[in-house]
């Protein structure tokens, strides 16, 4: 099956898919090829059986959809089979994003004594950045006077502008002092890029130290940024642009977790029962 995997890899790279997507597709197809064993001739029943097996093994809907996407790509783009698969993607469960309150965000930040780590978490929340976007920021991407951050080749291979909070300008100025334009804003101790795992660990340690009884991850900072902007009355289209969402429906999920309007609604139990 190696020639097939090689063909898929080359085609994905030619189409400028991200390295992460290429790796995921190849891993999925390798499992699928092992399942079919013989020549991977298109057989809808085989695909259904494979996906059902993965579901029984506990694969989430998102993972099942990744398997199906990679299989469809192989047959349509590599094998050039135009036959309609008549296979629908697995329905994803609706989950509300975990959002931290403004006070909780401040509490987390206040637990961090290390200047660089404190700024990293503050900037991730204040600009609504993904962990990968924070660690890839370079000095040349910071526009202090204009109040913007230039996010290069983010998710979906798209560039965008993000906000640089006024409160952080002085701290950012300190950290970039004396550095070259191509250096990373948050370098590791050895120099070079900080790892995703290290950045996530910084948040996790601060979160645990804060004593907040909630579930949260580094990405909760981004969810909180979007929700708080919405609560402040910022138009959903502007939030979509700042987050870099291609589809407005992705941004609309934050309308389900805003607390500002809900706090003014009284339960009928509170209003009428004594």
Q: Tens digit of pLDDT for each residue in 55-100?
A: 889 888 888 989 999 999 999 899 998 777 777 766 665 566 788 9
Sequence-distant (≥ 6) Cβ neighbours of residue 195 within 8 angstroms: 135, 188
Record the tokens describing residue 147, joined without a space.
């109040």
**CATH topology assigned to domain 2-78:** DNA polymerase; domain 1 (1.10.150)
Record the tokens describing residue 243, joined without a space.
């987050």
At 268, the pLDDT band (50, 70, 90 cuts) reads: low
Residue 140 has a pLDDT of 94
Crossing angle, helix 196-210 and helix 102-110, to 10 degrees?
100
Residue 175 has a pLDDT of 92
Q: Tens digit of pLDDT for each residue in 151-199?
A: 887 676 678 888 899 999 999 999 999 899 999 999 988 888 999 999 9
Question: With pLDDT > 70 as the criterion, what percentage of the chain qualifies?
Answer: 85
Q: Tens digit of pLDDT for each residue in 2-20?
A: 888 999 999 999 988 888 8
Q: Give catalytic residues, as residue numbers.
A: 130, 155, 219, 222, 245, 254
**Parts of the chain belonging to CATH 1.10.443.10:** 102-256
Mean pLDDT of the chain: 85
The pTM for the full model equals 0.67
**Parts of the chain belonging to CATH 1.10.150.130:** 2-78
Alpha-carbon distance 174 to 186, whole Å?
A: 12
Alpha-carbon distance 128 to 230, whole Å?
A: 13
- Through-space distance between the first and last CA atoms of the chain, rounded to whole angstroms: 72
Q: Tens digit of pLDDT for each residue in 95-132?
A: 667 889 999 999 999 999 999 999 999 999 999 999 99
Residue 210 has a pLDDT of 94
Question: With pLDDT > 90 as the criterion, what percentage of the chain qualifies?
Answer: 45
At 246, the pLDDT band (50, 70, 90 cuts) reads: confident
Tell me: pLDDT of 258 over 80.
no
Q: Tens digit of pLDDT for each residue in 188-232?
A: 888 889 999 999 999 999 999 999 988 899 999 988 988 888 888
**CATH topology assigned to domain 102-256:** hpI Integrase; Chain A (1.10.443)
Which H or E run contains 72? Answer: helix 61-73
Alpha-carbon distance 221 to 229, whole Å?
A: 12
Tell me: pLDDT of 269 over 50.
no
Alpha-carbon distance 217 to 195, whole Å?
A: 16
């Amino acid at each position: 099956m190696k020639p097939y995997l090689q063909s898929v890899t080359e085609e994905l790279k030619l189409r400028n898919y991200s390295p992460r997507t290429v790796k995921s597709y190849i891993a999925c197809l390798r499992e699928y090829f092992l399942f079919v064993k013989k020549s991977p001739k298109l057989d809808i029943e085989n695909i259904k059986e494979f996906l059902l097996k993965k579901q029984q093994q506990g694969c989430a809907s998102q993972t099942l959809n990744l398997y199906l996407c990679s299989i469809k790509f192989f047959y349509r783009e590599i094998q050039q089979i135009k036959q309609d698969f008549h296979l629908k993607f697995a329905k994803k469960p609706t989950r509300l994003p975990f959002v931290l309150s403004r006070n909780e965000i401040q509490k987390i930040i206040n637990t961090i004594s290390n200047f660089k780590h404190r700024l990293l978490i503050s900037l991730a929340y204040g600009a609504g950045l993904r962990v990968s976007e924070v660690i890839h920021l370079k000095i040349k991407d910071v526009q202090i006077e204009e109040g913007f951050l230039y996010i290069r080749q983010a998710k979906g291979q798209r560039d965008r502008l993000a906000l640089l909070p006024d409160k952080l300008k002085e701290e950012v100025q300190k950290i970039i002092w004396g550095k070259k334009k191509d250096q990373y804003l948050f370098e590791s101790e050895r120099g070079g890029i900080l790892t995703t795992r290290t950045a996530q660990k910084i948040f996790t340690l601060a979160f645990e130290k804060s004593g907040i009884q909630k579930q949260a991850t580094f990405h909760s900072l981004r969810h909180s940024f979007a929700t708080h902007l919405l609560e402040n009355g910022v138009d959903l289209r502007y939030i979509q642009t700042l987050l870099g969402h291609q589809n407005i429906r992705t941004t609309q999920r934050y309308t389900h977790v805003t607390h500002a309007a809900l706090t003014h609604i009284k339960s009928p139990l509170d209003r009428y029962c004594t």
